[in-house]
Amino acid sequence: MTTAMSTDQIAGTTRVLIIEDDPSIAEAVRRVVAKQNGTGVVASDGRNGLRNFFEERPDLVVLDIGLPEMDGWQVLERIRDLSEVPVLILTARDLEQDKVRGLTAGADDYLTKPFGVQELGARIQALLRRSQTAVSTPAAEPPSVYRDGNLEVDWPAREVRVDGEVVGLTKLEFQLLQTFVRHPGQALATQQLLEQVWNDPFGIGPERVKFTVLRLRRKLGWHDEYKDVLEAIRGYGYRYTPVGDRITPAE
């Protein structure tokens, strides 16, 4: 019997990394993924999870928080340094502060144990759909190379350099930088950034923007004397002021 492609199916090549030390939960998640036609790979501690992440390049990560070796928070931080892969946190704790911490640390969704397999399946599908639309958003490239202070962005090559050194940005970090550079000196609302960069005006919330901005600042060295280059506007959003446009006090 052939199975028609239905709404509860994901692409057959979809790989989901499951980082979970409880074998029965890991197996339950793996079955949910398999039922949807994807492939689930299980890692039972944080360190192996991270290793698997780099080897497997999964399309989605289901991440437990209480893990041996390296906990889920540390794993999430390492993943977010390099990738915008959707991350769904699974945890036994139903604490509001944990939920907030998870989302601010760059998780895309949060599910408390015990959870229903249907709910898990629906969340996985929603995350995959969202990441596919966000990445495929077409963006017209400004021409050639943009230079400001020690920053250099080669648009066609999608390469960012600071003081001549290449800086690795994730797709979203790159798109965020591109959006700022196209609107120099303009205050951009967080909502606007969610729409333009994340293609998600309602889902994930402003904390995602805040933490991506923090990572971008850190990677580009926009702290200390450059901290105002990408400025947070309280209760509104962010403004990029090119280094060349700033008035630097004489030494």
In the complex, the smallest distance separating the C-beta of residue 17 from Ca ion, rounded to whole angstroms, is 15
Closer residue to Ca ion (CB): 21 or 69 = 21
Nearest in space to 18 (alpha carbons), one of 108, 99, 74, 89: 89
In the complex, the smallest distance separating the C-beta of residue 223 from Ca ion, rounded to whole angstroms, is 35
In the complex, the smallest distance separating the C-beta of residue 95 from Ca ion, rounded to whole angstroms, is 15
Return the range that interacts with Ca ion (CB under 5 A); candidates 6-14, 59-67, 94-102, 133-141: 59-67
| Count of residues engaged in binding Ca ion, rule: CB under 5 A | 3
Do 144 and 76 touch, CB atoms closer than 8 A? Answer: no
Return the range that interacts with Ca ion (CB under 5 A); candidates 19-27, 41-49, 70-78, 96-104: 19-27
Could you tell me the two tokens for 98?
A: 């944990």
In the bound state, the residue with its beta carbon closest to Ca ion is: 66
**Is 21 near Ca ion (CB under 5 A)?**
yes
Could you tell me the two tokens for 210?
A: 């805040």
In the complex, the smallest distance separating the C-beta of residue 64 from Ca ion, rounded to whole angstroms, is 4
DSSP letter at 248? P
In the complex, the smallest distance separating the C-beta of residue 86 from Ca ion, rounded to whole angstroms, is 20
Return the range that interacts with Ca ion (CB under 5 A); candidates 13-21, 111-119, 129-137, 211-219: 13-21
In the complex, the smallest distance separating the C-beta of residue 55 from Ca ion, rounded to whole angstroms, is 22
Closer residue to Ca ion (CB): 71 or 200 = 71
Closer residue to Ca ion (CB): 21 or 231 = 21
Closer residue to Ca ion (CB): 66 or 203 = 66
**Is 64 near Ca ion (CB under 5 A)?**
yes
**Is 69 near Ca ion (CB under 5 A)?**
no
Do 18 and 30 touch, CB atoms closer than 8 A? Answer: yes
Nearest in space to 34 (alpha carbons), one of 58, 19, 50, 14: 14
Return the range that interacts with Ca ion (CB under 5 A); candidates 58-66, 108-116, 175-183, 195-203: 58-66
Residue 25 belongs to what H/E stretch? helix 23-35
Report the chain's C-alpha Rg in angstroms.
20
DSSP 107-119: -SEEEESS--HHH
DSSP letter at 142? P
**Is 66 near Ca ion (CB under 5 A)?**
yes
Give the integer Cα–Cα distance in Å for 210 and 20: 28
Say how many CA atoms lie within 13 Å of 185 toward its Cβ.
3
In the complex, the smallest distance separating the C-beta of residue 96 from Ca ion, rounded to whole angstroms, is 20
**What angle separates helix 72-82 from helix 46-56, to the nearest 10 degrees?**
20
**Is 74 near Ca ion (CB under 5 A)?**
no
**Is 148 near Ca ion (CB under 5 A)?**
no
Alpha carbon distances (Å) from 132 to 10, 14, 86, 167, 201: 12, 11, 10, 24, 15
Contact positions vs Ca ion (CB under 5 A) = 21, 64, 66
